[in-house]
Amino acid sequence: MNLLNRRICCAARRWRCRRVSTTICRCERSETYVWIKSFKIENYKSFDNSGLRDLGRGINVVIGQNHSGKTALLGALARRFRAIPHKSSRLRRTEAPNPISVLDLDFVVAGSEVRDIALAQQMNLQMPVPSDKGHLGPKGVLQWVLSLPEMVLSVQGTAHENGKSSWSQPHYPSNNLFPINALNQNFIHFNVNQTRTDFHIAHMSPGANDYFSFHFVGPLADHTYYFDAQRIPQNDFAFGSAERLSSDAANLAQVLNVLQANRSEFAEYVSQVRRIVPLIKWISVVPSKERGQNVEIRIWNVDESTGRDDLTVPLAECGTGIGQVLSILYVVLKSEGNIIVIDEPNSFLHPRAAKALVSMLRNDSKNQYIVSTHSPEILVASDPDRLFMLKFVEEATQVQQIARGDIGNAKEVLDEIGSRLSDVFGADRVLWVEGPTETECYPLLLKAEGRELEFGTAIAPLRNTGDLESRHGEAIADIYRNLSSAYALLPSPIGVSLDGDKRDMPNLKTLERAFGKIITFLPRRCYENYLLHPAAIAHLLNATGSVETSETSVRDWFRNRGSEPKYKVSKHEPLSAAWSQEVDAPALLDDLFQELSAGREIYRKTLHSPQLTKWLLENDRGSLEELIKYVVALIPRSQ
């Protein structure tokens, strides 16, 4: 069992794997962890007041449009926090804003972690005693506290415009697991003994003394890692024996050098890195040639067995994402009880690598993750404990927590209709259309009328609309009804555009009940009916390089073959207005392409329909005027 699997084989929280051999692990209870339970941000950047928001123990994902406040939120939670007061038109130009930015945090620690931190930092602590625990006596109370699997500590950070910042305890008691009777207040005072192995209890006395929670803000920061495209780990660092990565990842070279001494664990670490970035063959840490007291990280692009260390490159010459992956995986594999904040992993990693990384993190129950993203693939891969959507409304960021079931429900509904979350992710409103052809071509028609597809508006395909005409049409209509349900991840529909041949389908009334009065139908049988233009088709066929034809040849083919029964318009003269409206254009174009090219070309809707549309807009816009007006009417301008 490899190093990662030993870390994650127990799904239960606070359990860890002790290595027995290279293939066997034994699971033991672990009480070493720290995580943020809730937060509230006031008067900071785009946040006026976020409200109190609960975080999950595992993966938390933050989504939202650009400039909605995602980076500000992650920076605050990672304690990259300074006074930047919120700006609002509610204040007059000459009115001074509140100069203090505030961050409230409730964070969870285990009693064993409190013990370790207090001993390591020789803390002198005064802590409230629950009224129902006084009978245990000073020693018994302290033992009870240090054996707690969880305690919640509350702190408040304030940042001032003068650059100063401070932490305090916003309420009494600062540990909100302790219900204190105001008429029976007691506290215990204890500090580290001379041998630094245990605590000396000074006394337990009446009073409301509480200097407990804010002592742990510093250690909380030590457990917090912040990764984004701008924070690049150092290529080299002084030689040393540290095994814990610093919160800024500056000593990455040092800790990897220590890990490198254990060949099997280092090999397992490299194998996990390769799961994310397969092009990396090996990693080595060697003395720096420029700074002799330092060691530096070298990346192998060839197998280590070649011995070609002359082909290695320093980490500094690799992309930003490489250093971030090395740092993140080191924290995941070699420590626990951390808060790992990752701002837009898709901004410094290839989409496949970002998805692989998040999938790996999902299986780690020993650290808390707070990740922002624009990527629907990362959202789905992470399966987050908490999902927050940020919106900038009325000059301030609003934080909406989305039910976890919304992700699965939205994805399931889209899967059932053959669409994807990426089709509509991040949009405010959506126009559902017949298929990918319309998705590609409708923006072209809008642009021909001098309009661009507005930001926040998506055109998405309903790929399985043919099922509406089947005997299961009623059940299929129920699926489409869910598209207009209140799933927070799905934008509100502004219209549903279907092919004209569905105007008489038997389940139309059911579908209209599902979507309301926003269903419209193309004036013609389908989109390709607007593309039966001999000159455009001849130009497209000649452009393939495998066919030489003419407008006349295409026109003659239409006249000779276009009234055959299989094209469903035998009563109309080919190329007449009625024929162009009702003919089965996709079948017609498929046969025309194959026959005129002697089987060398086929009509590919998603490729050739946009090409024909572009040619017609440039050379015979009048032939598309009806279609342009139809599309423009579908997408009203937003307010």
Q: What is the DSSP string of 269-331?
A: HHHHHHHH-TT--EEEEEE-SSSTTEEEEEEESS-GGG--GGG-EEGGGS-HHHHHHHHHHHH
pLDDT of 1: 41
13 and 93 fall within a common domain:
no
Q: Kindly report, residue by residue over 168-181, the tens digit of the pLDDT.
A: 999 888 887 777 66
Q: Kindly report, residue by residue over 390-440, the tens digit of the pLDDT.
A: 988 889 999 988 877 777 777 766 776 667 777 777 777 888 898 889 999
Q: 109: which residues sit within 8 A by CB, 6+ positions away?
A: 33, 34, 117, 150, 151, 153, 216
503 and 569 fall within a common domain:
no
Q: Which amino acid is at 210?
A: D
Mean pLDDT of the chain: 85
Is residue 504 included in any domain, yes or no?
yes
Q: Give ∠ CA 313-317-319 in degrees, rounded to 5.
A: 115
Q: Kindly report, residue by residue over 81-138, the tens digit of the pLDDT.
A: 888 999 888 888 888 888 999 999 999 998 888 998 899 889 999 988 888 887 888 8
Domain boundary among 206, 222, 238: 222
Least-confidence region, from 2-6, 236-240, 283-287, 459-463? 2-6
pLDDT of 229: 78
Burial of 286 from C-beta contacts in 10 A (0-12 / 13-18 / 19+): middle
CA 383 to centroid of chain Cα atoms: 10
Provide the domain count of the chain.
5
Question: Using CA atoms, how far apart are residues 337 and 222, in angstroms rounded to an integer?
Answer: 11
Q: How confident is the model at residue 182 (pLDDT cuts 50, 70, 90)?
A: low
pLDDT of 3: 45
Question: Using CA atoms, how far apart are residues 98 and 193, in angstroms rounded to an integer?
Answer: 45
513 and 531 fall within a common domain:
no
Least-confidence region, from 236-245, 337-346, 418-427, 565-574? 418-427
Question: Using CA atoms, how far apart are residues 364 and 8, in angstroms rounded to an integer?
Answer: 5
356 in the Ramachandran plot: left (φ > 0), alpha (ψ -120 to 50) or beta? alpha
501 and 563 fall within a common domain:
no
Provide the strand spans (E) within 160-219.
Answer: 165-168, 186-192, 199-206
pLDDT of 615: 96
Q: How many C-beta atoms surround the C-beta of residue 98 within 10 A?
A: 13
pLDDT of 464: 67
110 and 187 fall within a common domain:
yes
pLDDT of 470: 61
Q: How many C-beta atoms surround the C-beta of residue 343 within 10 A?
A: 23
pLDDT of 422: 73
Is residue 574 included in any domain, yes or no?
yes
Domain boundary among 158, 187, 222: 222
Cis amide bond preceding 173, omega within 30: yes
Question: Using CA atoms, how far apart are residues 108 and 463, in angstroms rounded to an integer?
Answer: 47
Is residue 356 included in any domain, yes or no?
no
Q: Tell me the percentage of the chain whose pLDDT exceeds 70.
A: 89
Output the domain CATH number for residue 454: 3.40.50
Structure-derived torsion over alpha carbons of residues 427, 428, 433, 436, reported in degrees to the nearest 10: -10
Is residue 629 included in any domain, yes or no?
no
Q: Kindly report, residue by residue over 621-633, the tens digit of the pLDDT.
A: 999 999 999 999 9
Average pLDDT for 345-361:
89
Is residue 638 included in any domain, yes or no?
no
452 and 416 fall within a common domain:
yes
160 and 255 fall within a common domain:
no
181 and 281 fall within a common domain:
no
Angle between helical axes of 320-334 and 351-362 (0-180°, round to 10):
10
Is residue 379 included in any domain, yes or no?
no
151 and 6 fall within a common domain:
no
Q: How confident is the model at residue 30 (pLDDT cuts 50, 70, 90)?
A: very low
194 and 247 fall within a common domain:
no
Residues present in the chain in total? 639
444 and 503 fall within a common domain:
yes
Nearest to 48 by CA among 86, 96, 84, 105: 86
Angle between helical axes of 404-416 and 473-483 (0-180°, round to 10):
140
Q: Kindly report, residue by residue over 220-241, the tens digit of the pLDDT.
A: 888 899 998 777 778 888 999 9
Domain boundary among 291, 309, 336: 336
1 and 55 fall within a common domain:
no
Is residue 377 included in any domain, yes or no?
no
Is residue 538 included in any domain, yes or no?
yes
Q: Tell me the percentage of the chain whose pLDDT exceeds 90.
A: 45
Its domain, for residue 427, covers 403-521
- Name which residue leads in pLDDT, 638 or 430: 430
Is the pLDDT reported for residue 327 higher than 90?
yes
Question: Using CA atoms, how far apart are residues 572 and 595, in angstroms rounded to an integer?
Answer: 22
pLDDT of 28: 39
Least-confidence region, from 107-121, 274-288, 435-449, 477-491? 477-491
Average pLDDT for 68-86:
90
Nearest to 283 by CA among 345, 348, 327, 231: 327
Long-range pairs for 595-604 at CB < 8 Å and ≥24 separation?
A: 595/557, 596/541, 596/547, 596/549, 596/553, 596/554, 596/557, 597/541, 597/544, 597/546, 597/547, 600/544, 600/546, 600/547, 601/541, 601/544, 601/546, 601/547
Is the pLDDT reported for residue 539 higher than 50?
yes
pLDDT of 588: 95
Q: Kindly report, residue by residue over 297-323, the tens digit of the pLDDT.
A: 999 999 989 999 989 999 988 888 899
CA 51 to centroid of chain Cα atoms: 22
